[in-house]
Amino acid sequence: MKQQPRSKIEQLILQSCPNGIKSVKLGEVCEIYDGTHQTPKYTNEGVRFVSVENINALYKSNKFISRSDYDTLYKVKPRVNDVFMTRIGSIGVCTVVESDEELAYYVTLTLIRPDLSKIDPKYLKYIIESSQGQKELRKRTLVNATPIKINLGEIGKIMIPLPPLEIQNEIVKILNKFTELEAELEAELEAELEARKKQYHHYRDNLLISSKDTSESIRLGDIAKNLDSKRKPVTKSSRKSGDYPYYGASGIVDYVDNYIFDGDYLLVSEDGANLLARTTPIAFASTGKVWINNHAHVLEFDNRTTQRYVEIYLNSIDLSKYISGAAQPKLNQENLNKIEIPLPHLSDQERIVSILDKFDALVTDISIGLPAELNARRQQYEYYRNKLLTFKELS
């Protein structure tokens, strides 16, 4: 059988490391520093302040601290080719510093300074974000902490494969090209997805408006049974981890070891800024055994079609006239019950729900349509990156 030609990387490995690639502790090839533990005082200008929230867009952060605070809080200041890594929550997301603009950073990030004579900073980013890098981080993650975190002293202990710089550089070239192509494709898909969402909203609104001529205006309190009295809030420190979804105003916020509801319900946000901002749905369904706290109203309907129709309708309208409170917007039970629902005949409800659910699936269902294509692109990149960064260990 004719032997397949070797890639450049395979040739380099065969020439320089025929017995395999050695692994080293991260601390042997990098210096590792902590961000400030002091809650910063933000200013309108000064030194840009970065955290977990803008790890992938360092220079777009709109938070700043004063020059004097920066000089006081930071003995070690970031410089070009340093690597920021998240160490709380989604641990192990990395960004390479590519500008000489000064940056301040919080304890949620660690600053990794690679020895450039031994390791390429972008290779470091790729290897930490790879499956084996994430596995190494998980070994040392405090999963019982809230939120989960990795202590600074543990970061230097993670083991990473360290091929010669020539091989690292070649890997970085390949992954950079792949990443650029991936970003272009994802941007196109994201734009198409956003266009589909707008199309869905336009189509939904037209369907709901056209049905009003044959609809009967009914108050929500007259078609749904309110079960708010059965809700039970549980503080985060008192919750026991389990398999049952724990719902709040924005949907599932945790999983607990018990439940207080079992069935099909429509949950509606009771409080929070999203009641006015509407960045996420304020009405959402729950099914099966669940726990619901006192930040979401619990409504029970006679049939699932009407429940779904009301869910779609509530997410399409402006509820500001039913909401009280300025600092903390609130939709109380009395006002919830007053919301007027233009309810068409059940057969029309079924038709509208069927049409919109099919359309919605193309926009949001991760298993079909554009979301599935986006997910497949990301999985393809992760597979290729992980394969490229998997080496025969030095024997």
DSSP result, 339-362: -EEEE--HHHHHHHHHHHHHHHHH
What's residue 116's pLDDT? 97
pLDDT digits (tens, 9 = 90+) for 200-242: 888 888 888 878 777 889 999 999 999 999 999 998 888 888 9
Amino acid at residue number 192: E
180 vs 294, higher pLDDT: 294
pTM here is 0.59
**Residue (of 257, 316, 269) closest to 297 by Cα position:** 269
In the block, tokens 């006239």 appear at 321
Helices (H) and strands (E) in the chain, counts: 13, 20
CATH node for 216-343: 3.90.220.20
Amino acid at residue number 316: S
Return the beta strands (E) in the chain as ranges.
23-25, 30-34, 42-43, 47-50, 64-65, 83-86, 94-96, 103-105, 109-114, 141-142, 149-150, 159-161, 216-219, 225-226, 241-248, 251-256, 261-269, 283-292, 296-300, 340-343
Residue 370 has pLDDT above 70, yes or no: no
State percent of the chain over pLDDT 70.
Answer: 95
**Residue (of 293, 317, 165) closest to 231 by Cα position:** 293
Q: How confident is the model at residue 326 (pLDDT cuts 50, 70, 90)?
A: low
Rounded CA-CA distance 244/135 in Å is 27
What's residue 247's pLDDT? 95
104 vs 382, higher pLDDT: 104
The overall average pLDDT reported for the chain is 88
Residues 6+ apart with CB under 8 A from 112: 26, 30, 31, 32, 33, 82, 83, 84, 85, 124, 155
Residue 29 has pLDDT above 50, yes or no: yes
**Residue (of 117, 115, 122, 150) closest to 26 by Cα position:** 115
Looking only at the bridges linking them, the beta strands covering 283-292 and 241-248 are parallel
What SS3 class is residue 139?
A: helix
Rounded CA-CA distance 139/93 in Å is 16
Rounded CA-CA distance 20/22 in Å is 7
232 token code pair: 């039970």
Residue 261 has pLDDT above 50, yes or no: yes
CATH node for 22-162: 3.90.220.20
φ, ψ dihedrals at 226, nearest 5°: -90, 130
Alpha-carbon 73 to chain mean position: 30
What's residue 188's pLDDT? 77
Mean pLDDT score, 370-380: 72
Residue 113 has pLDDT above 60, yes or no: yes
What's residue 365's pLDDT? 62
**Residue (of 270, 268, 275, 267) closest to 318 by Cα position:** 275
What's residue 2's pLDDT? 47
Amino acid at residue number 6: R
State percent of the chain over pLDDT 90.
Answer: 54
Query: Do 377 and 182 contact (CB within 8 A), yes or no?
Result: yes
Judged by phi (left if over 0) then psi (alpha if -120 to 50, else beta), residue 46 lies in left
**Residue (of 377, 373, 376, 391) closest to 130 by Cα position:** 391
Q: Is 113 exposed, middle or buried (0-12, 13-18, 19+ CB in 10 A)?
A: middle
What's residue 279's pLDDT? 84
268 vs 360, higher pLDDT: 268
Q: How confident is the model at residue 380 (pLDDT cuts 50, 70, 90)?
A: confident
